[in-house]
Amino acid sequence: MYLLSIMKSLWLVLGILVFQSDVRLGKKLTKLTAKQFPKEFKWGCATAAYQVEGAWNEDGKGENIWDRLVHTHPDIVTDKQNGDVACDSYHKYKEDVSTVKHIGFQVYRFSISWSRILPTGDTDVINEKGVQYYRNLIDELLANNIQPMVTLYHWDLPQPLQDIGGWTNGIIVDYFESYADLAFKSFGNKVKYWITINEPLEVMRGYALTSTAPGLNTSELGGEYLTAHNLLRAHSRVYRLYEKQYRSSQGGKVSITLNAEANFPRNASSKEDQAAADRVFQFQLGLFAHPIYSKTGDYPPIVRQIVDQNSAKEGRPRSRLPRFTAEEVEQLKGSFDFFGLNHYTSILVTNKNQSSEHVLPSFTNDQAVNTSADPKWPSGKSSWLKVVPEGFRVLLNWIKKEYDNPPVHVTENGYSDDGQLEDDGRIDYYTKYLASLHKALVNDKCNVVGYTAWSILDNFEWSDGYTCRFGMVHVNFSSPERTRTLKKSATFWKSFLDRPEGF
């Protein structure tokens, strides 16, 4: 195990040195354009329902877990705001689509609000006005030659389903399959890219932290792992549903979107830190990727080993990490048409010796690490967002080696600031991360097929409210009209996508 970790860590360090050498040896990075990517490469931008739509209780929409959390506990949001109106994209979607077209993106990724089309979470009540809204949005995109990429679940579970346990209750898989079936029937003839679940790792955190919906701490009972287990089962069920009933007639692609940082050992010469960095990769990305993308399936062996051992030490009769049936392992394995990847930043990892401590059972503590950032790394407005472009290339290569180079569609990548129109920090971020992506694609032969920027609009940034802005379009949240204004980064993207001189 140590030898494997050392080899992987040496390769990570080599990746950084190669990237830095590329930067020093030429000025090509400053002249990169979309035309230097493969012709079939897909360029897009993204949003999510709760963050932009607003109309939280309009036209028959039901309550979701973020509605409930921010209305009952407004203090969990930095500025005590919510997504009740947000960008008001429910009413302004045509303007948003026009902006996407103006900048030149080919793909618009958005999510369906489960509770907007199924207010109770189940198909006993179908809200036709909600269904029609998404039909209108999809038609508007297609009329402007923009391809919709639709996420079924981006964190906004209908509250009635949370009332019966949410993602910790195995019955949720049946409800999710019924919801997906309705979506495929209603929109599938016009949608060619589907994402089942966005960032299941972050969905897990809602069952560990009070600051993200549903705001429960179930770690000691294994609620995080139970959530992960049911998310994976739900993804597999929906993928196989599409494969069996819809693929032949609709011809679309289905996958899941996973988020990951690049993990570097804080002390590159420390075997313990090297092993710790790889351990974080396996827990935070491998937990979801290994069952789907590996040749053997199931959870990563190191994750299974550690959680089982810790559970036994805690005196439990069973592991906090549930087990798949043999059939579930086979159904999960290969349940993808591409690798959806969200990436923003990187971290430094240090091994943490917990043998002499009383450690509370949790997903975080099972990893036995401390994480930090290099003080030399520039920072975005979000405290966690450090600008480490070389990490992007390292992560893409890790996926290539670990999972036999699957087709990767980067479904989110972006930078936060205060919302200024002259957003040079965002332009610098995109410039460097796109250069790193290009090196991974061209030099390293990573099979990257598309890139979707986060985000087209400033929006409700979860517990940060409106204090952190990710958009290339400014939204005035003090205005009832939610006035939009293009930022300098929107011009940057238009130049990158349209003009040969690039950036």
Domain annotation covers residue 215: yes
Token digits of residue 181:
């079936």
- State how far the Cα of 21 lies from the Cα of 379, in Å rounded to an integer: 23
**H or E segment at 65?**
helix 65-72
Q: Which value, in Å, is the radius of gyration of the alpha carbons in the chain? A: 22
With a cut of 70, say whether residue 258 has pLDDT above it: yes
Q: How many CA atoms lie within 13 A of 355 on its CB side?
A: 2
Check: CB of residue 292 under 8 Å from CB of residue 300: no
Write the CATH number for 207: 3.20.20.80
> Using DSSP, how many helices (H) and how many strands (E) does the chain show?
19, 13
Q: According to the model, what pLDDT value does residue 319 have?
A: 98
Range 270-273, long-range pairs (CB < 8 A, 24+ positions) = 270/351, 271/2, 271/5, 271/6, 272/351, 273/349, 273/350, 273/351
CA 412-227-281 angle, to 5 degrees, is 50
* Residue 224 designated active-site: no
With a cut of 90, say whether residue 30 has pLDDT above it: no
Q: What is the DSSP string of 153-221?
A: ESS--BHHHHTTTGGGSTTHHHHHHHHHHHHHHHHTTT--EEEEEE-HHHHHHTTT-TTSTT----GGG
What's the pTM value of the predicted model, to 2 decimals? 0.94
User: What amino acid is encoded at 17 in this protein?
Assistant: L
Domain annotation covers residue 197: yes
Check: CB of residue 405 under 8 Å from CB of residue 447: yes
**H or E segment at 244?**
helix 223-245
37-83 per-position pLDDT tens digit: 999 999 999 999 999 999 999 999 999 999 999 999 999 999 999 99
Q: According to the model, what pLDDT value does residue 354 have?
A: 78
* Residue 412 designated active-site: yes
DSSP 323: -
Per-residue CA distances from 364 to 208, 209, 284, 307 (Å):
10, 11, 9, 11
- State how far the Cα of 8 lies from the Cα of 275, in Å rounded to an integer: 9
Q: According to the model, what pLDDT value does residue 480 have?
A: 98
| Residues above pLDDT 70, as percent of the chain | 92
Which residue among the candidates 63, 140, 199, 261 is catalytic per the annotation?
199
Domain annotation covers residue 21: yes
CA 271-444-263 angle, to 5 degrees, is 35
Domain annotation covers residue 354: yes
445-469 per-position pLDDT tens digit: 999 999 999 999 999 999 999 999 9
Domain annotation covers residue 232: yes
Structural domain boundaries, residue 387: 2-498
- State how far the Cα of 340 lies from the Cα of 479, in Å rounded to an integer: 35
Per-residue CA distances from 456 to 301, 447, 490 (Å):
39, 25, 8
157-206 per-position pLDDT tens digit: 999 999 999 999 999 999 999 999 999 999 999 999 999 999 999 999 99
Domain annotation covers residue 503: no
Domain annotation covers residue 401: yes
- Count of domains for the chain: 1
Domain annotation covers residue 198: yes
Dmax over CA atoms of the chain, in Å, equals 64
